[in-house]
């Protein structure tokens, strides 16, 4: 599927590369009689810009300088820095779901930039800037910026904006505490509390609580291609972690890290059977814990089927 966006862009000092932009209007199709094309960019004339200003009522946001129309195809490889940022932006605003867009070569095409409180800069250009005169603060040196540099989700609580990257989708009611971290290409459902690490590729459903310093394995850095998801009403205790998917109403004990190949002693029909953790993926109402007497990791049915959370703490 093809997506277009009208953008206002900024270049590096030599004006040879587009390094950053604002995505003004996103449509699947724009109808023009004639558009001058150059790679992924579509150069607009003044009449076409005025036409878009009428349609989208962006009189206060747009000007006639540095305006182009860009196009991306979500199944194609990323072709430029702006194309990569655009695809991440489409995930963050909910037009495309995580893991349904081609981000395979994203780190090859994105540019390492210096992100500051007043914009971003090409690294080679930064030495020409007098930091003291403009009260500039360096926030990060990275290829992927914070989510709030491009988009501000509604009805969320975000304790530290630099802990969520562009390409993360945060549903309403989400709370990200200061030690929580959400990488790009992720989905967080409604009313979740995040105090741990959400790696790239992870999908979390509604009303789930990720405890302090807990972590979920993703699809980067040797994490494999298996997408890990958590169902509704799950709880990962502090300092716990998983490398397999959970169903609804599941609990991982604090301090317990379980990978897909971990041997689990499953309590079934009044007996324990040994099974790999990945075989329990997507099964509802399970509790995982370590037996304090023999050190074995055990699993049994969660008969309560509900997890009591602090509703006042979760309320945004």
| Residues 74, 196 within the same domain | no
Tell me the per-residue pLDDT of 249-268, one tens digit each, with 9 for 90 and over: 999 999 999 999 999 999 99
| Residues 228, 85 within the same domain | no
- Distance separating alpha carbons of residues 186 and 201, to the nearest angstrom: 5
Q: What is the pLDDT of residue 184?
A: 97
Q: Which residues make Cβ contacts (< 8 Å) with residue 240, sequence separation at least 6?
A: 211, 214, 252, 253, 254, 255, 256, 257, 258
Q: What burial class does residue 104 get, using C-beta atoms within 10 Å of its C-beta: 0-12 exposed, 13-18 middle, 19+ buried?
A: exposed
Asked whether residue 9 carries a pLDDT value surpassing 90, the answer given is: no
| Residue 29 within any structural domain of the chain | yes
| Residues 177, 258 within the same domain | yes
> Is the pLDDT higher at 107 or at 68?
107
Q: What is the pLDDT of residue 154?
A: 92
Average pLDDT for 257-280: 96
Give which of 169, 171, 172 is closest to 182, Cα–Cα.
Answer: 169
Asked whether residue 68 carries a pLDDT value surpassing 80, the answer given is: no
| Residues 165, 67 within the same domain | no
Confidence of residue 54 (pLDDT cuts 50, 70, 90): low
DSSP line for the chain: -EEEEEEEEEE-TTS-SEEEEEEEEEES----S--EEETTEEE--HHHHHHHHHHHT-TTT--SSSEEEEEEETTSPP-SHHHHHHHHHHHHTTSS-TTSS--TTHHHHS--EEEETTEEEEHHHHTTS-HHHHT--EEEEESS-BGGGT---SS-EES-GGGBBTTEEE-TT-EE-TT-EE-SSEEE-TT-EE-SEE-TT-EE-TT-EE-TT-EE--SSTT--SPPPEE-TT-EE-TT-EESS---SS-EE-TT-EE-TT-EEEEEETTEEEEEEGGGGTT-SSEEEEE-TTT--EEEEE-SS------HHHH--
Q: What is the pLDDT of residue 136?
A: 84
How large is the greatest C-alpha to C-alpha distance in the chain, in angstroms? 77
| Residues 136, 206 within the same domain | no
Which is the catalytic residue, given 124, 139, 179, 195?
Answer: 195
Average pLDDT for 145-155: 94
Q: What is the pLDDT of residue 160?
A: 95
Confidence of residue 115 (pLDDT cuts 50, 70, 90): very high
Q: What is the pLDDT of residue 30?
A: 60
Least confident of 68-82, 146-160, 250-264: 68-82
CATH code where residue 222 lies: 2.160.10.10
**Which of residues 102, 130, 158 is at a domain's end?**
102
| Residue 107 within any structural domain of the chain | no
Average pLDDT for 4-28: 76
- Distance separating alpha carbons of residues 251 and 214, to the nearest angstrom: 12
| Residues 76, 133 within the same domain | no
Q: Is 124 a catalytic residue?
A: no
Domain limits at 133? 112-145
Question: Whole-number mean pLDDT of the chain?
Answer: 85
Give which of 81, 74, 80 is closest to 96, Cα–Cα.
Answer: 74
Q: What is the pLDDT of residue 165?
A: 97
Average pLDDT for 164-169: 98
| Residues 279, 165 within the same domain | yes
Residue with tokens 């194309």: 83
| Residue 53 within any structural domain of the chain | yes
Asked whether residue 237 carries a pLDDT value surpassing 60, the answer given is: yes
| Residues 168, 289 within the same domain | yes
| Residues 152, 300 within the same domain | yes
| Residue 194 within any structural domain of the chain | yes
How many domains is the chain partitioned into structurally? 3
| Residues 200, 298 within the same domain | yes
Average pLDDT for 21-48: 62
Q: What is the dihedral angle through the alpha carbons of 287, 293, 294, 295, rounded to the nearest 10 degrees? A: 50
The proportion of the chain whose per-residue pLDDT surpasses 90, expressed as a percent, equals 60
Give which of 257, 163, 144, 245 is closest to 204, Cα–Cα.
Answer: 245
Residue 261 CA to chain centroid, in angstroms?
26
| Residues 154, 233 within the same domain | yes
Least confident of 2-6, 91-95, 137-141: 2-6
| Residues 309, 164 within the same domain | yes
Tell me the per-residue pLDDT of 175-232, one tens digit each, with 9 for 90 and over: 999 999 999 999 999 999 999 999 999 999 999 999 999 999 998 755 567 899 999 9
| Residue 278 within any structural domain of the chain | yes
| Residue 226 within any structural domain of the chain | yes
Asked whether residue 5 carries a pLDDT value surpassing 90, the answer given is: no
CA torsion through residues 56, 60, 63, 66, sign: negative
| Residue 160 within any structural domain of the chain | yes
| Residue 17 within any structural domain of the chain | yes
């Amino acid at each position: 599927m093809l997506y277009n966006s009208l953008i206002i862009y900024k270049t590096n000092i030599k004006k040879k590369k587009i390094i950053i932009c604002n995505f003004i209007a996103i449509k699947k199709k724009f109808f023009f009689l004639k558009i001058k094309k150059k790679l992924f960019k579509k150069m607009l004339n003044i009449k076409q810009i005025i036409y878009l200003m009428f349609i989208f009522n962006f009189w206060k946001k747009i000007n006639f300088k540095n305006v182009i129309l860009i196009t991306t195809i979500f199944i194609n490889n990323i072709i430029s820095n702006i194309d990569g940022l655009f695809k991440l932006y489409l995930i963050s605003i909910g037009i495309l779901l995580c893991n349904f867009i081609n981000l395979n070569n994203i780190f090859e095409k994105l540019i390492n930039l210096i992100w500051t409180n007043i914009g971003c800069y090409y690294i080679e250009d930064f030495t020409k800037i007098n930091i003291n005169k403009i009260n500039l603060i360096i926030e990060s040196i990275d290829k992927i910026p914070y989510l709030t540099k491009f988009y501000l989700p509604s009805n969320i609580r975000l304790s530290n904006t630099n802990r969520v990257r562009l390409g993360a989708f945060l549903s309403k009611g989400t709370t990200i505490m200061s030690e929580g971290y959400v990488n790009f290409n992720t989905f967080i459902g409604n009313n979740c509390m995040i105090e741990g690490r959400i790696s790239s590729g992870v999908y979390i459903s509604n009303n789930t609580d990720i405890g302090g310093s807990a972590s979920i394995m993703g699809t980067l850095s040797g994490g494999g291609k298996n997408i890990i998801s958590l169902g509704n009403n799950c709880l990962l205790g502090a300092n716990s972690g998983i490398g397999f998917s959970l169903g609804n109403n599941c609990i991982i004990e604090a301090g317990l890290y379980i990978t897909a190949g971990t041997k689990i002693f499953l309590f079934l029909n009044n007996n324990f059977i040994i099974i790999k953790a990945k075989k329990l993926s997507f099964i509802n109402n399970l509790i995982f814990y370590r037996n304090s007497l023999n050190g074995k990791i055990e699993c049994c049915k969660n008969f309560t089927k509900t997890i009591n959370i602090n509703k006042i703490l979760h309320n945004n």
